[in-house]
């Protein structure tokens, strides 16, 4: 196998739950192949470097093997190797999220009349 479409590989490596999500991410510029934006139809080869941004998580990986079929997570992990810088950055981000609370975490839905009055008082 000389190459695999990037969206198929991302799906097989379990970075995205569906292939259409992988295609949308590539089209949206969240995936960079060797440092440059790419199209979903582009083929990846062994040794290529991918920068993947999936929501709050960012990976920098080097492709070690190719696959068009999605398999168990243990096999998917063998398709790529994550860079040490990426591992350290992901762990630091996990620790930051663990100890910091999101300011909007306590807000559920629309504000009540009482909450709205408090926000108006605070804003003045």
Judged against a pLDDT cut of 90, whether residue 124 lies above it is answered with no
- Please state the domain extents for the chain: 4-101
The pLDDT tens digits for 97-113 are 888 877 777 777 888 89
Domain spanning 4-101 has what CATH number? 3.10.290.10
Q: What is the pLDDT of residue 104?
A: 73
Looking at residue 100, what is its pLDDT? 82
- Dump pLDDT digits (tens) for 60-74: 999 999 998 999 999
Mean pLDDT confidence for 7-35: 93
Percent of the chain's residues with pLDDT above 90:
68
DSSP string, 33-86: ETTEE--TT-EE-TT-EEEEEETTEEEEEEE----SS---HHHHGGGEEE-HHH
- Give the pLDDT band of residue 49 (cuts 50, 70, 90): very high
Give the residue-averaged pLDDT of 25-51.
92
Q: What is the pLDDT of residue 75?
A: 92
What integer is the mean pLDDT of 84-97? 91
Q: How far apart (Å, rounded) are the C-alpha atoms in residues 61 and 15?
A: 11
């Amino acid at each position: 196998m000389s190459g695999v479409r990037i969206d198929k590989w991302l799906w097989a490596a379990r970075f995205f739950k569906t292939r259409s999500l992988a295609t949308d991410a590539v089209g949206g510029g969240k995936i960079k192949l060797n440092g440059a934006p790419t199209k979903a139809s582009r083929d990846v080869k062994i040794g290529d470097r991918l920068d993947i941004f999936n929501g709050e998580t960012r990976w920098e990986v080097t492709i070690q093997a190719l696959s068009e079929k999605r398999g168990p997570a243990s096999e998917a992990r063998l398709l790529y190797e994550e860079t040490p810088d990426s591992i350290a950055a992901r762990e630091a981000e996990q620790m930051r999220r663990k100890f910091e609370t999101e300011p909007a975490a306590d807000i559920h839905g629309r504000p009540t009349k009482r909450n709205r009055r408090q926000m108006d008082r605070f804003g003045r």
